[in-house]
A = this chain, B = another copy of it.
Amino acid sequence: MAAGYWMAGKSQESATFELFVRRLPPRRDFLVVCGLSQAIDYLTELRFERREIDYLKSLGQFTNAPKGFWDYLAEFRFSGDVFAVPEGTVMFAREPLMRLRAPLIEGQIPETYLLSTLGFQTVIASKAARILKAAGGRDVVEFGSRRAHAPEAGCLAGRAAYVAGCVGTSNVEAGIRFAVPVFGTSAHSWVLSFASEMEAFRKLQELLGERSVQLIDTYDTIEGARHAIEAGQPLWGVRLDSGDLMKLSREVRALLDAAGMQAVKIMATNDLDEDTIAALVSGGAPIDVFGVGTSLATSFDAPAVSAVYKLVEIEGRHASKRSEGKQTLPGAKQVYRFADRDVVGLHGENVGGEPLLKQVVASGQAIVDEKNLTRIREYARGQIAVYGSARKVELSASLSALAAS
């Protein structure tokens, strides 16, 4: 398409694209937008390397593409403006999360990358918000890297889960790249590698001291709890990873308390998801920390949202597709937030409320690029607390009229 725009003499036409989610997946009332920082990095750093251009030239699809196009790609820079909602903003279906105004060719090229980058982290942050709600204030750690969709996704899932309010991740790369707090416990192979569970527990304490978390279910959870108690302090907590977590957490808590170890915490893992966590919490299971893996790092019950990226204006002309069941709204839009509802209106329209999309890139330069995850997370938690439930989204009268025209 880029080559086609170039050949048709349209590449520099002024275009506006918007990224939005068509509809929320089942059981999702809202989205926690995440991934903007990676999207900005991509737009401001996007270049075509010689080897990439050579590859494209080698394809039959580009037989008719003229030399000028390849020269253009070699010099490509994104020079447009980008408006977006800050990371951590709670948003809803049909609301633009990002808007790009750029020469047509520059607005088109980033489509897939932006959708994947913003879409994936938004999926994970939104899922994390649901799991945290189920956990009712107890700590949740993201533990799913091993099931993530390749290692890069594991790292970004750790980031997104933290933004939404998890206390951290087991993904060390997320710690290095994004300063997400990292947590972990020993695995069964640690216990199995020693001749006895007792020896394994004592050696862990030599390394980790008061941060030790003993995994007590390798052979038998109750026996494991007794061994952890016998190994004694220092001990931060014990971890349950199999069996009836309600029953076992109560029994283990009683054993710990009887041994005077009231301060020792209980962590639970084992394919937990929002429903199992909600049942444990409402049943009063004495679990202090949930480690959540697959269901969080893949958003197992809804691993994608219907995020799309659509042309809404070209050379001042409004554009919208009319495809059956997939109509889009024309025009450069803004989302105006009121206490009780959101209104999707036109950019610059005066309908009151707080405009949510803010300019983050001007003429290809990042002008807002929040990298501090602690601040992003603080903002996200506030957003989820205030707006994290189903919400009425209306179209402004002007937008409705335009869409009907």
Binding site for B on A (CB under 8 A): 1, 3-5, 7-8, 10, 13, 15, 17, 51-52, 55-56, 59-61, 63-65, 104, 108, 111-113, 115-117, 119-121, 123, 145-154, 156-157, 170, 172, 175-176, 182, 184, 186-195, 203-204, 206-209, 211, 217-221, 241-243, 294, 298-300, 303-304, 306-307, 309-311, 314, 317, 319-326
Shortest CB–CB separation between residue A40 and chain B, in angstroms? 15
Contact of A311 among B111, B192, B298 (CB under 8 A): B192
**Within the assembled complex, what's the spacing in Å between the Cα atoms of A300 and B301?**
8
Contact of A211 among B60, B151, B204, B299 (CB under 8 A): B60
Q: Which residues of B contact A310 (CB under 8 A)?
A: 188-189
Q: Which residues of B contact A303 (CB under 8 A)?
A: 149, 298-300, 303
Q: Which residues of B contact A113 (CB under 8 A)?
A: 151
A4–B154 touching, CB < 8 Å? no
**Within the assembled complex, what's the spacing in Å between the Cα atoms of A159 and B123?**
23
**Within the assembled complex, what's the spacing in Å between the Cα atoms of A145 and B149?**
12
B116–A145 touching, CB < 8 Å? yes
Shortest CB–CB separation between residue A399 and chain B, in angstroms? 18
For the complex of A and B, the 9 pairs showing the least CB-CB separation, nearest first, are A149-B149, A189-B311, A115-B146, A242-B323, A152-B152, A303-B303, A149-B153, A243-B324, A192-B319
Q: Which residues of B contact A146 (CB under 8 A)?
A: 111-112, 115-116, 119, 307, 309
B120–A150 touching, CB < 8 Å? yes
Q: Which residues of B contact A151 (CB under 8 A)?
A: 112-113, 116-117, 152
Shortest CB–CB separation between residue A366 and chain B, in angstroms? 19
Task: Find the B residue at minimum CB distance from A42.
Answer: B151
Task: Find the B residue at minimum CB distance from A107.
Answer: B189
Known: A3-B207, A149-B303. 13 other contacts (CB 8 A): A7-B206, A8-B206, A56-B172, A116-B145, A119-B146, A149-B150, A188-B321, A189-B311, A191-B321, A192-B321, A195-B317, A219-B322, A242-B324
Residue among A7, A115, A149, A243 with the highest chain B CB neighbour number at 10 A: A149
A211–B304 touching, CB < 8 Å? no
Q: Which residues of B contact A61 (CB under 8 A)?
A: 184, 208, 211
* Residues A193 and B294 in contact in the complex (CB < 8 Å), given A3-B207, A188-B310, A217-B323: no
B304–A298 touching, CB < 8 Å? yes
Q: Which residues of B contact A211 (CB under 8 A)?
A: 60-61
Task: Find the B residue at minimum CB distance from A171.
Answer: B112
Task: Find the B residue at minimum CB distance from A327.
Answer: B242
**Within the assembled complex, what's the spacing in Å between the Cα atoms of A195 and B187?**
62
Residue among A7, A52, A190, A241 with the highest chain B CB neighbour number at 10 A: A190
**Within the assembled complex, what's the spacing in Å between the Cα atoms of A307 and B64?**
47
A190–B1 touching, CB < 8 Å? yes
Contact of A150 among B1, B104, B117 (CB under 8 A): B117
* Residues A298 and B149 in contact in the complex (CB < 8 Å), given A176-B55, A209-B63, A325-B242: yes
Task: Find the B residue at minimum CB distance from A216.
Answer: B323
Q: Which residues of B contact A220 (CB under 8 A)?
A: 322
B193–A13 touching, CB < 8 Å? yes
